[in-house]
């Protein structure tokens, strides 16, 4: 005898659970493996008491003034948002991003599975 096929709402719920578990495991591994100091695109370098510090592109007032002069305030906003979005996909922040995204996708899957189960019950 063959067993009946698994209902779609159960498969969707199982998929959500698998996505959640896999996402958090990979995020944990990335968090442990990621380096603390990521390479930063330097706009400038400063020497203070014999130690060299890099100034990131989005923190350099001179660079932002040049960008604003050439493209306006909207271009400055785009440069700052691009730097922020780019930072989400490097190092430890990638682990946080992956954990949040996997939680959100799993939550949507489980929510849709609950909606589908209500239709079956009704």
Q: How many CB atoms are located within 10 Å of the residue 58 CB?
A: 19
- The pLDDT tens digits for 50-96 are 787 776 665 667 777 888 888 888 888 888 888 788 878 888 889 99
Closest CA to 114 of 21, 5, 22, 8: 8
CA dihedral (54, 57, 58, 62) positive or negative? positive
Q: Looking at the whole model, is its pTM more than 0.85?
A: no
- The pLDDT tens digits for 14-46 are 999 999 999 999 999 999 998 765 555 555 666
């Amino acid at each position: 005898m063959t067993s009946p096929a698994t209902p779609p709402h159960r498969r969707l719920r199982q998929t959500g659970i698998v996505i959640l578990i896999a996402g958090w495991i990979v995020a944990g591994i990335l968090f442990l493996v990621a380096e603390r100091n990521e390479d930063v695109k330097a706009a400038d370098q400063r020497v203070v008491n014999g130690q060299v510090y890099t100034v990131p592109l989005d923190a350099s007032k001179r660079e932002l003034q040049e960008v604003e002069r050439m493209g306006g305030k909207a271009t400055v906003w785009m440069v700052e948002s691009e730097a922020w979005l780019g930072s989400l996909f490097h190092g430890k922040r990638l682990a946080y991003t992956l954990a949040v995204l996997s939680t959100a996708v799993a939550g949507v899957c489980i929510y849709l599975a609950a909606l589908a189960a209500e239709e079956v019950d009704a």
